[in-house]
Structure 1
Amino acid sequence: MDSRVVLFCFLGILIGNTATAYENIALNKSAWQQYPYPRRPWGADKAVDGRYSDRSAVGGQCTISDNSQKTATWRVDLGDVHRIHHITIYTRTDNLPWDASNGYTARFLGFSVYVSNSTNKDDGILCFKDTMYTRSTIPNNVTIECVKNGRYVIYYNDRLPLVLYPEEYSYYSFSELCELEVYGCPIPELYGENCNIPCPQNCQERHCNIVDGTCLGCVEGYRGSRCEKKCDNNSYGLECNLTCGNCSNREQCDHVNGSCPHGCDKGAQGDKCREACPFGRHGKNCVEFCTQNCRGGCNRFTGACESGCNPGWKGKFCENECDGNTFGLNCNQKCGVCLNKEQCHHLNGTCPNGCDRGYQGTSCTQACQGGRYGYNCQDMCSINCKDPMNCDPVSGHCSACFHGWYGRECKERCGYCRGNEQCHHVTGSCSGLCEPGYSGDQCLDSVFSQHIANQRAMIKLMRKFLAFKLRRGQMRENGTSPTDF
């Protein structure tokens, strides 16, 4: 038999004189049950109303759950966390002899009682689980010793599928409680049989064991069963589970707040001396400054930049700027295509004088796109490119031209090729014949225009000849020698 369970006889004789000193702190408190019986006055509050003289359904003094359920849960909310000593349960008997012939014994078998600080039993502590009673041995009044702290007391029973229960258990689960009493001290700071002894001063929240007054936890800076000892051995704080920082000369810190009365050793700072020197500082009490380009703080003793440098810097003390076409963290990022291949900015990689041909952006890492090319992508691709949005980003050359155009940038118009044939995309020459009236490799020479040009050349030549003849006559008259035509 579980030693925590002490049976009451049917007449309600108490198990000991001390049990009467504690108060029923569940009386008239808020209660809830999982499956209330519909349209009947058997609500969850019936189990905490202080009445259980008539333990039948018709008496209206018991809470009764609905039929045909696989689980049964009932709970009472004590309103706050209380120290509990024991719990007494009075179950439904229908005022009939309580023995194996009473059908309600089978419903009571297998029950559990939990104490929790939430409405979920699984968050709490199991006080009792029936695994030993039979219909002949289970009492109708049960007192369970449960020296625990909690807000909710939860009664639970189940008859789950695929679980093998003893043969005497009922097929369904019920919560049929005529009264559930929770005995403890109504004032949290008191303990003892008469709830009149104050808990030790250093108990956490003044909560102690309801029987012997031992603390359930200590306030900061104290330890021991009654929290009578100060923290020592380089510890402090709640339950003395915090370690002192680097106090000067390794002295004991304050047992409550961990502060160091005489300052910190090298490499530490703060009133508790638990903080390593922050970025930019080192030495005793962190009063010295690191090199400003250290990343993540320097060595708190030597000042060396052991965690590396800020972006854009290199060297043991991070004193040198990135070079060699690099920038950024650890100088491991490559500069973009800056104008004339100059060094980019050592911190952010921007190009101070813009980008070389074919690139754009502050760091000159983005190739020209969207129909642009040249320095900083300022030039627009020719609209005569067959794909005007994708010319060569450096030169602006087109991969192909629209019909009727040629040249690297498709800016030259084709001649009069026979049948409107497309000319060569680079040279502009026609692969076949020219349209009537035109000639030449590019079919740009007009036959009519050539005839006129020839006539103009002949006239020009005749004028030159006549002018020569005239000049020659004049020279003979003057006695000079004429030159050849």
Structure 2
Amino acid sequence: MERTLQLLIVLTSFVSNKAYENLALHKPTWQLYPFPTAELTWGSDKAVDGLYTNLSAGGEQCVISDNTRSTAEWRVDLGGVFSIHHVFIQYRTDGLDWDERNDHLMRFLGFSVYLSNTTDKHDGVLCFHDKNYTSVTIPNHVNIPCRYHGRYVIYYNNRTHRPYPDGYSRFAHNELCEVEVYGCRFKKYGENCSIPCPQNCQESNCDIVTGACRGCVSGYTGQMCTEEYYRVDLMKITECRNNTYGFECREICGNCMHGEQCHHVTGICLRGCDKGRKGAKCKQVCPVGRFGYNCQKNCSINCFVPERCNRVTGLCEGGCQVGWSLPTCDTKCDNRMYGRNCSETCGFCSGKEQCHVINGICANGCSDGYLGNRCSEVCRNNTYGSDCSLSCGNCLYLYGEQCHHVTGHCPRDCVTGFQGDRCMEGNEDESPAKVAYELVPAAIHMHEQS
């Protein structure tokens, strides 16, 4: 099929341009990267002015885009949806021989032509994409078959995926000296655009050569929509189902919202796109940095790789930067967490405050019983309380414990001669000798444990 299409294009005289009207003549145009300060000389409108006797820059009859760009795009607005037969393109030559020594030939290689009802090429159909031409075989003007209906004809080329095929230029350019779009107005077909499309064609659209309908109004079927259904149940069958649309339901719907059926004729998703897709037909994936339904959400700047996330879920690539929480990294750490992906737990900050979300440091000191920058260390060396500034009482230690680091309460009991939760109240009934006798083994035990 590809070789057949190439052959049709090489035979640039395969159809007389006079058989159809040039719908693009003097219509509004646009290009992605105009040549700086030269919009009047080499502007996008030069491709539809009907002039291409001088194919050089000095002739001021050609579009010339900016240099050193990786993509090139140009379009013409036909002013309405028309039935197209083919697109004629005359490329810039500068009056040089059209061979591998001509830089303009190298810039033409790899081009594409789209027909769309919107300004987005992905919403339309691809009429042609050059994958086989070489610097020896590409002609300096082409006729591209494009038997569809549409409003915008879009020329596109790119140099974004190295390595490029042999003979390709390093950068992409628009160097269009003329673009002519031949077809019929007013829902007609035939070589002279004199035959009305069959009356039961949906939206009166039919093939520009054969007159076959692109779809039928309710109750009719067949190529020319002349076969009438009488039964209600059969009438329902005429609408495409199972996520298909178009002529004979041959086209596959895009990713419509929640997997819903697209419009059975146009393929447009009536309630928008599912997560990760955009465009009228929801066939275009979200660009880098966008995600969600209809690509409406921005990936977070706080992703580990800023603004890079999963097109469907918004989950950041590589997780979050320090201080931000998963999955979308658009909220700061909370609930006493900090660090990358909020995976670290804060210590015991004063007043139960949140620690610093990046480094975990407690800005206003520690709660009673804790110390360190992150307040994660308990008091030691027989201390407790605020800033570990209080000394434990006369606790009875059997296993090397100390008093509770927050309250100062003794873990078991007091040595003889003391009482109270913290064993700091003296007992007058006990003699000093007995107190000293009972303190000795506890002190010895603590020394052995240290």
Aligned residue for 1:179, secondary structure, equals strand
Aligned residue for 1:181, secondary structure, equals strand
- Taking every aligned residue pair, what percent have the same amino acid on both sides? 53
Query: Which residue identity is paired with 2:173?
Result: F
- Structure 2 CA distance for partners of 1:157 and 1:202, relative to 1, 3 Å: same
Tell me how far apart the structure 2 counterparts of residues 134 and 87 of structure 1 sit (CA, whole Å). 21
Deviation at 1:222, TM superposition (A): 1.2
CA displacement 1:261-315 (0-9 Å, x = unmatched): xxxxxxxxxxxxxxxxxxxxxxxxxxxxxxxxxxxxxxxxxxxxxxxxxxxxxxx
Query: Which residue identity is paired with 1:154?
Result: I
Aligned residue for 1:200, secondary structure, equals coil
The equivalent residue for 2:228 is: 230
Deviation at 1:124, TM superposition (A): 1.1
Query: Which residue identity is paired with 2:213?
Result: C
Query: Which residue identity is paired with 2:211?
Result: G
Task: Tell me the number of residue pairs that the alignment of Structure 1 and Structure 2 aligns.
Answer: 237
The equivalent residue for 1:170 is: 169
Tell me how far apart the structure 2 counterparts of residues 24 and 73 of structure 1 sit (CA, whole Å). 21
Aligned residue for 1:205, secondary structure, equals helix
The equivalent residue for 2:153 is: 153
Aligned residue for 1:147, secondary structure, equals coil
Report 1:56-67 matches (<5 A): 56-67=56-67
Tell me how far apart the structure 2 counterparts of residues 210 and 242 of structure 1 sit (CA, whole Å). 23
Is residue 27–residue 78 contact of structure 2 (8 Å, CA) maintained in 1?
yes
Aligned residue for 2:105, secondary structure, equals helix
* 2:121 matches 1:121: yes
Deviation at 1:229, TM superposition (A): 1.5
Unaligned runs of 5+ in 1: 244-485
Match of 1:207 among 205, 216, 224: 205
CA displacement 1:448-478 (0-9 Å, x = unmatched): xxxxxxxxxxxxxxxxxxxxxxxxxxxxxxx
Unaligned runs of 5+ in 2: 242-450
Is residue 9–residue 145 contact of structure 2 (8 Å, CA) maintained in 1?
no
Is residue 109–residue 138 contact of structure 1 (8 Å, CA) maintained in 2?
yes
- Structure 2 CA distance for partners of 1:239 and 1:80, relative to 1, 3 Å: farther
CA displacement 1:10-38 (0-9 Å, x = unmatched): xxx72234x43111101111110000001
Query: Which residue identity is paired with 1:122?
Result: H
Deviation at 1:71, TM superposition (A): 0.3
Match of 1:217 among 215, 221, 235: 215
Deviation at 1:97, TM superposition (A): 1.3
The equivalent residue for 1:433 is: none
RMSD: 2.0
Report 1:62-461 matches (<5 A): 62-160=62-160, 162-187=161-186, 189-235=187-233, 240-241=238-239
Rg (Cα) greater in structure = 1
Is residue 199–residue 208 contact of structure 1 (8 Å, CA) maintained in 2?
yes
The equivalent residue for 2:337 is: none
Match of 1:20 among 18, 21, 29: 18
Query: Which residue identity is paired with 2:58?
Result: V
Deviation at 1:122, TM superposition (A): 1.0
The equivalent residue for 1:3 is: 4
Is residue 235–residue 241 contact of structure 1 (8 Å, CA) maintained in 2?
no
Deviation at 1:233, TM superposition (A): 4.9
Is residue 212–residue 224 contact of structure 2 (8 Å, CA) maintained in 1?
yes
The equivalent residue for 2:29 is: 31
Tell me how far apart the structure 2 counterparts of residues 123 and 181 of structure 1 sit (CA, whole Å). 21
Is residue 219–residue 238 contact of structure 1 (8 Å, CA) maintained in 2?
no
Tell me how far apart the structure 1 counterparts of residues 68 and 21 of structure 2 sit (CA, whole Å). 36
Deviation at 1:134, TM superposition (A): 1.1
Is residue 113–residue 126 contact of structure 1 (8 Å, CA) maintained in 2?
yes
CA displacement 1:414-437 (0-9 Å, x = unmatched): xxxxxxxxxxxxxxxxxxxxxxxx
Q: Which has the higher contact order (CA 8 A, sep 6+)?
A: 2
The equivalent residue for 1:261 is: none
- Structure 2 CA distance for partners of 1:218 and 1:96, relative to 1, 3 Å: same
The equivalent residue for 1:398 is: none
Aligned residue for 2:106, secondary structure, equals helix
* Larger displacement relative to structure 2 (27-36 or 217-226): 217-226
Tell me how far apart the structure 2 counterparts of residues 149 and 27 of structure 1 sit (CA, whole Å). 18
Query: Which residue identity is paired with 1:166?
Result: P
Is residue 189–residue 196 contact of structure 2 (8 Å, CA) maintained in 1?
yes
Is residue 100–residue 167 contact of structure 2 (8 Å, CA) maintained in 1?
no
Aligned residue for 2:146, secondary structure, equals strand
Tell me how far apart the structure 1 counterparts of residues 89 and 239 of structure 2 sit (CA, whole Å). 41
Tell me how far apart the structure 2 counterparts of residues 152 and 239 of structure 1 sit (CA, whole Å). 32
Q: Which runs of 4+ in 1 moved over 4 A?
A: 236-239
Tell me how far apart the structure 1 counterparts of residues 86 and 128 of structure 2 sit (CA, whole Å). 11
Query: Which residue identity is paired with 1:191?
Result: Y
- Structure 2 CA distance for partners of 1:239 and 1:65, relative to 1, 3 Å: farther
Query: Which residue identity is paired with 1:98?
Result: W
Aligned residue for 2:46, secondary structure, equals helix
Tell me how far apart the structure 2 counterparts of residues 113 and 238 of structure 1 sit (CA, whole Å). 36
Query: Which residue identity is paired with 2:20?
Result: Y
The equivalent residue for 1:349 is: none
Is residue 82–residue 185 contact of structure 2 (8 Å, CA) maintained in 1?
yes
The equivalent residue for 2:42 is: 42
Query: Which residue identity is paired with 1:3?
Result: T
